[in-house]
Homo-oligomer: A and B are copies of this chain.
Amino acid sequence: MIYSTELIKGTLKTIILKLLKDNKRMYGYEITQKVKELTADRIQLTEGALYPTLHALEADGILTTESEYIGKRVRKYYSLSPKGKTLSKEKISEFADFINTMKFLLDIKTDIA
């Protein structure tokens, strides 16, 4: 199943913050690949959405960056700032709560698996 684009809207920040919570530091391209892998291609982040979001999170002091050269190519690593660590937890628990609300509203049964 490939999700309609509207469905994934609004989840990008939460996904980024969760991955960085688990992985200490990641670069943009790595994030797209990790999400593809973890969701079996169901969610594919586009660069046009990802990079501006990463820049905005950095500008807000939620992420910090370190640039490194891999050969001749720059790779920009992102990490959670202290503020980002707090926000990460908040966003994940907010989404968890949202899932419960939507499950009730849409009368969706929990998957037994």
- List residues of chain A with CB under 8 Å of any chain B CB: 1, 3-4, 6-11, 13-15, 18, 22, 35, 38-39, 42-43, 92, 94-108, 110-111
Residue of B nearest to A2 (CB): B94
Assess the A35–B108 pair: CB atoms within 8 A.
no
State the majority secondary structure of interface residues on A: helix
Taken together, the copies of this chain in the complex come to 2
- From B10, B43, B98, A105 is in contact (CB under 8 Å) with B43
Assess the B92–A11 pair: CB atoms within 8 A.
no
Assess the A99–B108 pair: CB atoms within 8 A.
yes
Residue of B nearest to A3 (CB): B98
Assess the A39–B105 pair: CB atoms within 8 A.
yes
